[in-house]
Amino acid sequence: MLSEEEAKELKEKIIAQIETTFPAEKIPSAKQQIETMNNEEFERFLEKNGILKEANEENKNECVFCAITSGKIESSVIGENKGAVAVLEINPISKGHALIIAKVHDEKPQKDVILLEKKISSLLKRKLKPKSMETSPSRLFGHEVVNILPVYNNEDLKSERKHSSKEEINELKEMLLKKKEKKPRKKTEKITERLWLPKRIP
C-alpha cells in the first residue's frame, strides 16, 4: 500500500507527464481523473497500467525503472546495451509492444537508447512482419523511455491495452530471440580416382 507521500509524489509525476504528452483538449479531464482518485483507486490504476510493479520490501521506495533495468524486478528483456534495456510491455497494445528504458536518470537524450531502439525495431519488423512501426519517446520518473509499437491494423499508443500472461510474454520473448538455424552445407566429394579414357585413335 502506498503512503500518502508516495501517492502524492507519483500523482505529481504522472500529471507532469500528462501535461507534456497529452493533446490539449484531453489534459483537464485526465488531470482531474488522477487528482480525484483515492489511494486505493490510484494503486489499482498504477497496477493496471504497469507503472506499479510487485517488488520486495527492499525495493519499495526505489524508482520502478531503476528496479527494472537493474534486474530487481523481473521483466522480459529482449535487448540491452551499456546505457539502455529493452523489455516487452506486460500490458501491450499490440503483439511485440516494447519499451526501451535508459538505465540512468538524465535529462539529456541518451545515445544508447536511440541505438537500442533501432536494433529492436529492426528485430520486431523482421520477426513479426507488422504493417508499420510507431515509436514515441517520453520521460518517466527521470528516465528516457521509448515505446515501440508494431502496427498491424490501425493501432496507436492511445489504443486499448490488453494484459498478457507470463507464459504469453515468455513465449514471445523466446520466439524473438531464437536464432535461425543455418543448414549445414553439403560437402562436394572430390574425385580422386583417375578416369580411364581410351587412347585417341588417329
- Does residue 186 form part of some domain? no
> What is the rounded CA–CA span in Å between residue 202 and residue 36?
109
Query: Same structural domain for residues 77 and 150?
Result: yes
Question: pLDDT at position 79, please?
Answer: 95
Q: Are residues 69 and 165 in the same domain?
A: yes
pLDDT for 45 equals 80
In a domain, residue 199? The reply is no
Is 46 in the same domain as 122?
no
CATH number where 117 lies: 3.30.428.10
| Report field, pTM of the whole predicted structure over 0.85 | no
| Residue 175, all three cell numbers | 520466439
pLDDT of residue 112: 92
Q: Flag whether 147 is in a domain.
A: yes
Do 18 and 98 fall within a single domain? no
d(CA 77, CA 69): 9
Q: Measured between alpha carbons, how far is 147 from 133 in angstroms, rounded to an integer? A: 10
**What is the rounded CA–CA span in Å between residue 171 and residue 178?**
11
Residue 191 lies in a domain: no
Residue percentage of the chain with pLDDT more than 90: 32
Supply the pLDDT for residue 29: 84
Whether residue 58 lies inside any domain: the answer is: no
Total of domains in the chain: 2
The CA-CA-CA angle for residues 167, 169, 172, to 5°, reads 105
Determine which helix (DSSP H) or strand (DSSP E) holds 174, and give its type and residue range.
helix 166-177
Per-residue pLDDT in tens (0 to 9) along the chain, 202 residues? 667 777 777 787 777 667 656 677 778 888 888 888 888 888 888 777 666 554 334 444 567 778 777 777 778 899 999 999 999 988 899 999 999 999 888 777 689 999 999 999 999 999 999 999 999 888 877 788 899 999 999 998 888 888 888 899 999 999 999 887 666 666 555 555 555 555 555 5
- 70 and 46 in a single domain? The answer is no
Q: Does some domain include residue 170?
A: yes
Claim to verify: residue 36 and residue 80 sit in the same structural domain? no
Could you tell me if 138 and 17 are in contact, meaning their C-beta atoms sit under 8 angstroms apart?
A: yes
Range of the domain at 167: 64-177
Based on the fold, state whether residues 96 and 152 are members of the same structural domain. yes
Same domain, 132 and 154: yes
In a domain, 91, yes or no: yes
Separation between Cα atoms, residue 70 and residue 107, nearest integer Å: 19
Interstrand relation of 143-151 and 98-102 (parallel, antiparallel or unpaired): antiparallel
Are the C-beta atoms of 117 and 70 separated by less than 8 Å? Answer: no
Contact status, residue 152 vs residue 95, Cβ threshold 8 Å:
yes
pLDDT of residue 56: 38
Cell 509525476: give the residue: 13
Q: Is 144 helix (H, G, I), strand (E, B) or coil?
A: strand
What pLDDT shows up at residue 64? 74
Q: Are residues 86 and 129 in the same domain?
A: yes
88 and 121 fall within a common domain: yes
